[in-house]
Amino acid sequence: MIEFRLPALGADMDEGVLLEWKIGPGDRVARGQVVAVVDTSKAAVDVECWQEGTVAELLAQPGERLKVGAPLAHLLEPGEAATPKVGAGGTASGRRAISPAARRLAAQYGIEADTLAGSGPQGAVTLEDVERARAAQPVAAPQPTDRSAAIRQTIAAAMTRSKREIPHYYVAEDICLGRALDWLGAYNRDRPLTARVLPAALLLKAVAVTLMAYPELNGTYRDGVFRPSPTINLGVAIALRQGGLVAPALLEAETMPLDTLMRALADLVARARAGTLKAAELGSGSVTVTNLGDTGSQAVFGVIYPPQVALIGFGRSVERPWVEDGRIVVRPVVSASLAADHRVSDGHRGALFLRDLADRLQRPEELKP
């Protein structure tokens, strides 16, 4: 028997509301299949199941508020036979009997349905029980009703945790983008708009490839232990138009050719804005990049997204005087910064990383494959 649990949805999202099941009892589930849609404060998230099997029982009802790690469904492993249920009325997981409507209403009121006394058959919790509990509740703190307020709260929680727990250090480097932008301009010249590659994608590719030699900047720190990530799951900070931001990851960005990375980035931005991200994208970032782009400030020093250990920031690229071969020339220059976790790495390594990144951006043609 496989217990399918609500996967991590990113450091700042520790719970979600089940919106919809995409599967039902008896359905076969393939690895990676989207099985449910869960609403977090930031977006509706498609939740994938990474185990193969047949659905034996759904444990959660639409409308229910669930913590990360909460059991969602029981799946039979391939070849496993269904076991008969123990007794009628009770559930295999030993949870309280409660009607879906009552559970939904309880979730709406912010009441823990499983803590209520049931007056229905076999102690089942009914709608009346929920209404009674609601009437007995002291006036609760106002719940954030609009999404912007909820997003603000989750960002506040994650960033407060980051600044409380992570001893940040910061290093910065000005990087000349003259060669990179010339090369990209030539690369784009004869391409249709739909195949165009933005400087943002080139910067992301350069970061991903450079990080491969710096495992201490790519991974997660939990319970006093740093775990480097075998792949570069590159989180990308994306501003949402209603305010706030979300940082879903381009999984295995180091393996993507530049064109692929650009299309994946465009897709990720579009889905972040539309609120249709996947759980794996929100929960498995190993490092994050924030790029203020050409309408932002000149430099940015980021706050690390826990449990990650590093954040790379790019400011707006501007034309500046630059010394090349002993002469002063005008070049587009971007300020790159690294905020990293001093429990895992030191400023010396961080500085080496930025220098390596700068060197790599002087050979943009190598970033294409």
Partner 1 sequence: MTNENLRADVIAALQTVAPEIEPAALAADRPLRRQVDLDSMDWLNFLIALGKRFTVEIPESEAARLVTLDDIVAWLAARRPPP
For partner 1, the binding residue among 136, 141, 145, 189 (CB under 8 A) is 189
Among the candidate windows 28-36, 156-164, 165-173, 194-202, which touches partner 1 by CB under 8 A? Answer: 194-202
CB atoms within 10 A of CB 327: 7
Q: What is the DSSP letter of 77?
A: P
- Cα separation, 308 vs 306, whole angstroms: 5
User: Closer CB to partner 1, residue 75 or residue 201?
Assistant: 201
199 binds partner 1 (CB under 8 A): yes
149 binds partner 1 (CB under 8 A): no
For partner 1, the binding residue among 33, 91, 153, 188 (CB under 8 A) is 188
- Cα separation, 59 vs 35, whole angstroms: 13
192 binds partner 1 (CB under 8 A): yes
Output the smallest distance, CB 315 to partner 1, in A: 14
270 binds partner 1 (CB under 8 A): yes
Query: In Å, what is the CA distance from 247 to each residue of 6, 155, 271?
Result: 19, 11, 12
For partner 1, the binding residue among 127, 294, 298, 355 (CB under 8 A) is 294
297 binds partner 1 (CB under 8 A): no
The site string for partner 1 over 230-269 (x = CB under 8 A, - otherwise) reads: ---------x-xx----------------------xx--x
User: 211 and 287 in contact (C-beta within 8 Å)?
Assistant: yes
Place of tokens 């002087």: 362
- Residue 268's contacts (CB-CB under 8 Å, 6 or more residues apart) are 236, 238, 248, 250, 277, 281
Structure tokens at 191: 């391409």
For partner 1, the binding residue among 136, 223, 295, 348 (CB under 8 A) is 295
- Cα separation, 53 vs 79, whole angstroms: 9
Contact residues for partner 1, defined by CB under 8 A? 185, 188-194, 196, 198-200, 239, 241-242, 265-266, 269-270, 293-295
